[in-house]
């Protein structure tokens, strides 16, 4: 082994005290017996070893908006927050809607990314190019581009579609975007998914009605995500702090509680990291930075008994890898050695000044949290330790199932 990590690790819902052997950047063995290795990392008492996490919804800007966030600053923020793979949202400036812009995006990621990445492609009446996933906006959000014919764009997508489900017509009628705007859009999206039986992922579900629709339909090829801000904040917080404007908006306490009541059934948690600066926020931009607080809010929730550590592993590693068909991620032998070490006892206070994102502010400023990511390992190499980013950008694009490098079969159905 080139690296052995020892200590308490979480596997198949249980905590083991043992060893993880890493060879060629992959997990070669989970073992209870001592493994021989050249280099050793030990998780101390109170520390736990988890997989590096996957965030399937991240806006990294760059291109013409490099002053707001760059692939470099955004992926440093990701590994600082325990996230080793980011899904890049394509509503950039210019938007990623053609082959050439997608190639440019890939080139930038190859040069500057500190995390591994999946590349998205925006569909709004244009011709699809080969990407890792496709994004469709049913109504306008940041960037203003939306699909005038969701069903048609969905039908022609060559892979899984992530949809921002807020209905265009209803947004015109109700610019405050009450729950009905999301609920109607989710119904439309589900109808199309039922008709075409193609993989669909519904982004940032925020309402009781919307979540009920999805859970009642139970379509095995439909997945969905919930964001930390819809789990931890409400409209009341927005009324006190206008910077908390986001689409879909923060909801009532009743909606928030409902999301928590179905937490076991929530497939994916994703940040929807949107690094608007304070100046953008003053000017009314919608969206919240979240890469460096996402996992920490969840660790704090584990300490409060609201979820388990295994819930985090499922919703941010195992499920994203399975649903988006990523061959090299997940938490089993043979997959990439993306690992984080967390200290569940560490208490700390959220301060935007300690973050790597260029956003320069956080919705959770001053929050006292218990539980911290203290080390991040990407494919067998330490890339973050105690808030310090280590080494050069070495992010790689994810490997999709069914791709040239030895297929393990089609996408599994849930
Ligand atoms: Zn988004």
Residue 409's pLDDT is 39
- Helix and strand element counts for the chain (H, E): 13, 17
In which band, very low, low, confident or very high, does the pLDDT at 285 lie, cut at 50, 70 and 90? very high
CATH number at residue 293: 3.20.20.140
Q: Which of 41, 25, 114, 50 is nearest to 309 (CA)?
A: 50
Q: Which residues contact 170 (CB under 8 A, 6 or more apart)?
A: 139, 180, 181, 184, 185
In a domain, 383, yes or no: no
pLDDT tens-digit map of 72-108: 999 999 999 999 999 999 999 999 999 999 999 999 9
| Number of domains present in the structure of the chain | 1
Peptide bond into 248 cis (omega under 30): yes
pTM score: 0.96
296 marked as part of a ligand binding site? no
204 marked as part of a ligand binding site? yes
How far is the C-alpha of 296 from the C-alpha of 32, rounded, in Å? 28
Ligand 1 midpoint to CA 39 (Å): 40
- The two most distant CA atoms of the chain are separated, in Å, by 65
pLDDT tens-digit map of 206-248: 999 999 999 999 999 999 999 999 999 999 999 999 999 999 9
Q: Which residues contact 24 (CB under 8 A, 6 or more apart)?
A: 2, 380
Backbone angles phi, psi at 257, to 5 degrees: -65, -35
Mean pLDDT, the chain, whole residue set: 95
Share of the chain above pLDDT 90, in %: 94
Ligand 1 midpoint to CA 392 (Å): 27
Ligand 1 midpoint to CA 322 (Å): 21
- The H or E element that residue 29 is part of is strand 26-31
In a domain, 221, yes or no: yes
Residue 410's pLDDT is 39
Peptide bond into 350 cis (omega under 30): no
Residue 411's pLDDT is 41
pLDDT tens-digit map of 311-366: 999 999 999 999 999 999 999 999 999 999 999 999 999 999 999 999 999 999 99
> End-to-end CA distance of the chain, in Å?
34
Determine the Cα angle at 129 with ends 123 and 130, to 5°.
Answer: 115
In a domain, 181, yes or no: yes
Ligand 1 midpoint to CA 323 (Å): 18
229 marked as part of a ligand binding site? no
Residue 405's pLDDT is 55
Ligand 1 midpoint to CA 164 (Å): 7
In a domain, 378, yes or no: no
273 marked as part of a ligand binding site? no
pLDDT higher than 80, residue 157 = yes
Residue 404's pLDDT is 61
In a domain, 400, yes or no: no
Q: For residues 235-265, b (16+ Cβ closer than 10 Å) or e, as one string?
A: eeebeeeebbbbbbbbbeeebbebbeeeeee
Ligand 1 midpoint to CA 111 (Å): 24
- Would you mind telling me the total number of residues written for the chain in this entry? 414
201 marked as part of a ligand binding site? no
Give the residue numbers spanning the domain of 141.
Answer: 52-336
| Range 291-316 average pLDDT | 98
Cα distances from 169 to residues 149, 172, 209, in angstroms, run: 12, 5, 19
In which band, very low, low, confident or very high, does the pLDDT at 132 lie, cut at 50, 70 and 90? very high
How far is the C-alpha of 341 from the C-alpha of 292, rounded, in Å? 15
What residues does 387 pair with on adjacent strands?
none
pLDDT tens-digit map of 4-54: 999 999 999 999 999 999 999 999 999 999 999 888 999 999 999 999 999
Ligand 1 midpoint to CA 45 (Å): 38
In a domain, 368, yes or no: no
286 marked as part of a ligand binding site? yes
The catalytic site residues sit at 272
How far is the C-alpha of 26 from the C-alpha of 231, rounded, in Å? 33
Q: Which residues contact 44 (CB under 8 A, 6 or more apart)?
A: 7
61 marked as part of a ligand binding site? yes
Chain centroid to CA 33: how far?
34
| Range 387-414 average pLDDT | 74
Q: 238 or 140: whose pLDDT is higher?
A: 238
| Range 247-271 average pLDDT | 98
Phi-psi region of 323 (alpha: psi -120 to 50; beta: other; left: phi over 0): alpha
What residues does 119 pair with on adjacent strands?
88
């Amino acid at each position: 082994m080139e690296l052995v990590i020892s200590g308490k690790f979480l596997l198949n819902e249980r905590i083991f005290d043992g060893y993880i052997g890493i060879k060629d950047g992959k997990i070669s063995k989970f073992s209870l017996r001592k493994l021989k290795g050249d280099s050793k990392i030990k998780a101390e008492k109170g520390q736990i070893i988890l997989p590096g996490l996957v965030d399937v919804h991240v806006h990294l800007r760059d291109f013409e908006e490099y002053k707001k966030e760059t692939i470099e600053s955004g992926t440093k923020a990701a590994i600082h927050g325990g996230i080793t793979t980011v899904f890049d949202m394509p509503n950039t400036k210019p938007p990623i809607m053609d082959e050439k812009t997608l190639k440019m995006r890939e080139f930038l990621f190859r040069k500057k990314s500190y995390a591994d990445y999946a590349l998205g492609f925006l569909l709004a009446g244009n011709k699809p190019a080969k990407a890792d996933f496709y994004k469709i906006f049913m109504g306008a959000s940041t960037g203003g581009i939306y699909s005038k014919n969701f069903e048609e764009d969905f039908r022609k997508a060559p892979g899984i579609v992530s949809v921002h489900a807020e209905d265009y017509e209803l947004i015109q009628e109700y610019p405050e975007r009450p729950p009905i705007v999301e609920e109607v859009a989710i119904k439309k999206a589900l109808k199309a998914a039922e008709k075409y039986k193609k993989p669909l992922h519904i982004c940032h579900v925020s309402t009781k009605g919307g979540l009920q629709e999805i859970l009642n339909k139970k379509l095995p090829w439909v997945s969905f995500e919930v964001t930390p801000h819809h789990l931890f904040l409400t409209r009341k917080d927005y009324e006190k702090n206008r910077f908390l404007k986001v689409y879909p908006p923060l909801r009532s306490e009743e909606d928030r509680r409902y999301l928590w009541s179905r937490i076991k059934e929530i497939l994916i948690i994703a940040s929807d990291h949107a690094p608007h600066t304070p100046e953008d926020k003053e000017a009314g931009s919608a969206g919240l930075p979240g890469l460096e607080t996402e996992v920490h809010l969840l660790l704090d929730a584990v300490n409060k008994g609201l979820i388990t550590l295994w819930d985090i592993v499922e919703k941010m590693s195992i499920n994203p890898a399975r649903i988006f068909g990523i061959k090299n991620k997940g938490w089993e032998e043979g997959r990439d050695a993306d690992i984080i070490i967390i200290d569940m006892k560490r208490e700390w206070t959220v301060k935007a000044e300690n973050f790597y994102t260029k956003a320069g502010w956080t919705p959770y400023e001053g929050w006292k949290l218990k539980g911290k990511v203290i080390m991040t390992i990407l494919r067998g190499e330490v890339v973050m330790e105690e808030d310090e980013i280590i080494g050069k950008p070495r992010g790689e694009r994810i490997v999709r199932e069914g791709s040239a490098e030895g297929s393990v079969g089609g996408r599994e159905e849930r």
